[in-house]
Structure 1
Amino acid sequence: MGRLAVAVIVSSWVIPISILVNRTVPDPYMDEIFHIPQAQQYCKGNFRSWDPMITTPPGLYYLSLAHVASLFPGMFCMQAASSISDVCSTAILRSTNGVLAVICSILVYEIIICLRPGLDERKATLYAVVLALYPLHWFFTFLYYTDVASVTVVLAMYLACLKKNYLFSALLGALAVLIRQTNIIWMLFVMCVGVIDYTLAHRKYNMQLDDSDVSVGKDTQLASNKGVTAGSNFRKRRLGSAVDTVNHSIPRKSAPSATRSSGWFDEIQDILLKSWHFKWELLVSFCPFFVVLVAFVAFVYWNGSVVLGAK
């Protein structure tokens, strides 16, 4: 069980159903009448061609080119195709989403393991397989749409952020926006998750340092108390007052008040205040996300709208 099991199980229905769909609906279906001809233009190297009815960026077509290029050597050796454009059939382009669906299920498994490391491997595999059967995701697995590619790249971005690889996560965020521009919202969500995790992790580290300082102080007091022999009552009172002074001087963690932890807005305010203390570290770590965001805003300003084609 694990990644391999998830990939095998998902592939066991992706492959036969893809064959069935291509036999039943061999021609472009619904919005495929726009996406497939556009991808075929890219396969011919005509990157300046653009169908004005397409409203999403060309990220899916670039992924399809990579997929087709990986298949071309084998098909060329089998004399099934003489050029990359010959490989860009409807069935091959649809298979791009089939491959991405398998990758997506593996990413779901990895995210589950990352979020719940104590979860049994069989349960994690079952959860990943069940999520791979989500109806909307499952339906578009067998067609040439941007949905599966978009979800796959967004999940990869989220997983990279969970593993604190923020630069790679931001690059995947740029790719996600290149597939579907509304993914900028998911990129901001992932960035916020990363900021919160970063802040809480550093706060936990600082609390551990405080706890270690307190324990060292207490050990010092115990050692001093053991070294003191029986003496006058005056000396005992002096020792007791000294210990009390040390105890009062040691910083203690106060339990969070019910008012502070009860409200959702109070929690947000608490996180924002703590994030402000790490503002420079956060700026350096999450700078790539801001670069993508600024580039997106510049694109919207230049384009006059979020959508590309028919407005």
Structure 2
Amino acid sequence: MQNYVWLLLLPILYVAYSLPLFLRVYATTHSVIDEEFHLRQGLHFCNKRFDIWDPKITTFPGLYLISLVLNPINSCSVLGLRLISFTSAVINVVLLYKIRRRNLKRSKSSLAALDAFTIAALPPLYFFSHLYYTDTISLTTILLFYYFWQKESHLQAAVYAAASVLMRQTNVVWVGMAFGIMSLDVLIKNYAAFKRIKYHQVQTFKVQTWLEILTNFKLMLRSIWQILKKGCFYLVILLPFVAFVFINGSIVIGDKQAHEASIHLPQLFYFSIFVLIFAISNSIKQLKVTLQVILHEKLIVLFVIGVCVLIVKWNTLVHPYLLADNRHYTFYIWNRLYGRFSWFKYAVTPVYIFALIALHNGLRHERDSFKIMYWISVVLVLCFQRLLEVRYFLVPFVLFRLHTYPTGKKNISQWLELGFYLALNALTFYIFFTKEIIWQDFNEPQRIIW
């Protein structure tokens, strides 16, 4: 009964919290930075003008195709298009609750509800739910796909997986993650049965284990058949996408010069700081354990810090957009810290190490297949992006936060996390409403966003 109460109450709370802000944003400005391109293209598709395409747009047309739902009710307008994101955000809070509750073994409905509302209020994600960007509805399709994948309803999951790729190409990585987890689970379960041991007793990170698996012809044949049987729907998405990238020469479909793939390993460091700051409940829980790991493995940690310093020195890439666009918080963070003090990017490397260990510890209760594929997927999504953009962190953060372990019975750190989000959202919107920046290329004042 409590489950159904939260499924009804959560969207009502979210709408009550967000609708006044949504209307205030609309009254303040009808176009925010790149939203200009999305709104223009969305209005074309909403009015069934499919022959018009803006070459500056880099994503597949999923967002604009969804906008067709507005056509029969004559709502092809900026307000109507933004309501698509707002509606998606309301759906997200329900999906976050359902997934979080399953991950908590269905025993903690109130904690799942608290976490769902908190994740939905994540400041960068929450801000873009008031605008017509791909982020919110992209997350909706990812959550739908992930929900059905966890239920092993693979046909339904694949439908939403395909929809997620239509929203944003990089979502194919999360489809690959799910397929990879499923494949590893099949291999490990079959190996455990062969060795007559339990799944959790398999030493996944031992080379000998994989030598035995790969050289056992009968085990491999059975496993491949089971993987193809369960994962064929995902392969229908993954294989054509690989062909698309090969033919297109890039993962993006427009403005390729500004979005060239580059190896950029420090993105992993920036993401770890993002998680350390915003996943407060995990950071508090992992503080003691992380410090113990660092103190116990001093030599290894010092070596890793040295490697990170070299990575920072030789692989720190700065996109022209980061230096030129003063409408984003990352512009101010970079120019007032990283760009201003040459020593800062090196001094912060120990914090990167701490954050990465805390992040990894936050998933240590998960099965090995999840941990392996999650880290591979994070690297693939982030470390080939030249531009530092917090929106790239949203999906990997949400998936991480959905799998963190509760900190205690009183949920103090979870409430602290929510309070921090609400305060930061208030500050973000205050700056958005009151701070104006004049750009000569635009008639309307520009505003600062994430």
Alignment TM-score > 0.5, same fold = yes
Report matched runs for 1:44-123 at 5 Å.
44-66=47-69, 68-69=70-71, 72=73, 84=74, 87-123=75-111
Residue by residue, what CA displacement relative to the aligned partner does 1:130-178 show, whole Å, maximum 9, x if unpaired? 1111111101000110011111111111111000011111121111111
Give the 3 Å change call, closer, same or farther, for CA 257–158 of structure 1 in structure 2. closer
1:302 maps to what in 2?
Answer: 247
For 1:253 and 1:88, how far apart are their aligned partners in 2?
Answer: 61
Maintained 8 Å contact 2:189/2:199: no
2:264 maps to what in 1?
Answer: none
Deviation at 1:304, TM superposition (A): 2.4
SS in 2 for 1:158: helix
Maintained 8 Å contact 2:186/2:223: no
2:7 maps to what in 1?
Answer: 3
Report matched runs for 1:121-132 at 5 Å.
121-132=109-120
Percent of pairs with identical residues: 32
Q: What letter matches 1:5 in structure 2?
A: L
> Which structure: larger Rg?
1
For 1:254 and 1:197, how far apart are their aligned partners in 2?
Answer: 14
Maintained 8 Å contact 2:145/2:158: yes
Matched, 1:32 2:69: no
Residue segments in structure 1 that go unaligned for 5+ positions in a row? 73-83, 208-251
Maintained 8 Å contact 1:162/1:194: no
For 1:271 and 1:93, how far apart are their aligned partners in 2?
Answer: 51
Maintained 8 Å contact 1:196/1:271: no
Q: What letter matches 1:58 in structure 2?
A: P
Deviation at 1:185, TM superposition (A): 0.6
For 2:208 and 2:152, how far apart are their aligned partners in 1?
Answer: 26
* Most deviating of 9-18 and 92-101: 9-18
Deviation at 1:301, TM superposition (A): 2.7
Counterpart selection for 1:17 from 12, 15, 21: 21
Counterpart selection for 2:153 from 152, 165, 178: 165
Give the 3 Å change call, closer, same or farther, for CA 288–269 of structure 1 in structure 2. farther
How does the TM-score come out when normalised to structure 1?
0.72
1:261 maps to what in 2?
Answer: 203
SS in 1 for 2:66: helix
For 1:307 and 1:43, how far apart are their aligned partners in 2?
Answer: 23
Maintained 8 Å contact 1:5/1:125: no
For 1:275 and 1:132, how far apart are their aligned partners in 2?
Answer: 42
Deviation at 1:257, TM superposition (A): 11
Deviation at 1:276, TM superposition (A): 5.5
Give the 3 Å change call, closer, same or farther, for CA 268–91 of structure 1 in structure 2. farther
* Most deviating of 29-38 and 267-276: 267-276
Residue by residue, what CA displacement relative to the aligned partner does 1:34-78 show, whole Å, maximum 9, x if unpaired? 000101111221112100011111101112222x147x1xxxxxx
Q: What letter matches 1:277 in structure 2?
A: R
Give the 3 Å change call, closer, same or farther, for CA 97–276 of structure 1 in structure 2. farther
Report matched runs for 1:123-202 at 5 Å.
123-197=111-185
Give the 3 Å change call, closer, same or farther, for CA 119–43 of structure 1 in structure 2. same
Maintained 8 Å contact 2:172/2:238: yes
Residue by residue, what CA displacement relative to the aligned partner does 1:58-106 show, whole Å, maximum 9, x if unpaired? 101112222x147x1xxxxxxxxxxx3xx21111101101000011111
Maintained 8 Å contact 2:62/2:167: yes
Give the 3 Å change call, closer, same or farther, for CA 117–303 of structure 1 in structure 2. same
Report matched runs for 1:200-279 at 5 Å.
253=196, 261=203, 263=205, 277-279=222-224
How does the TM-score come out when normalised to structure 2?
0.51
For 2:213 and 2:28, how far apart are their aligned partners in 1?
Answer: 54
Maintained 8 Å contact 2:138/2:168: yes
Maintained 8 Å contact 2:46/2:65: no
For 1:147 and 1:164, how far apart are their aligned partners in 2?
Answer: 25
Maintained 8 Å contact 1:57/1:180: yes
Q: What letter matches 1:9 in structure 2?
A: L
Question: Bigger relative contact order, structure 1 or 2, given CA contacts below 8 A and separation 6+?
Answer: 1
Residue by residue, what CA displacement relative to the aligned partner does 1:194-213 show, whole Å, maximum 9, x if unpaired? 33455667788x69xxxxxx
Q: What letter matches 2:57 in structure 1?
A: I
CA RMSD of aligned residues (A): 2.9
2:310 maps to what in 1?
Answer: none
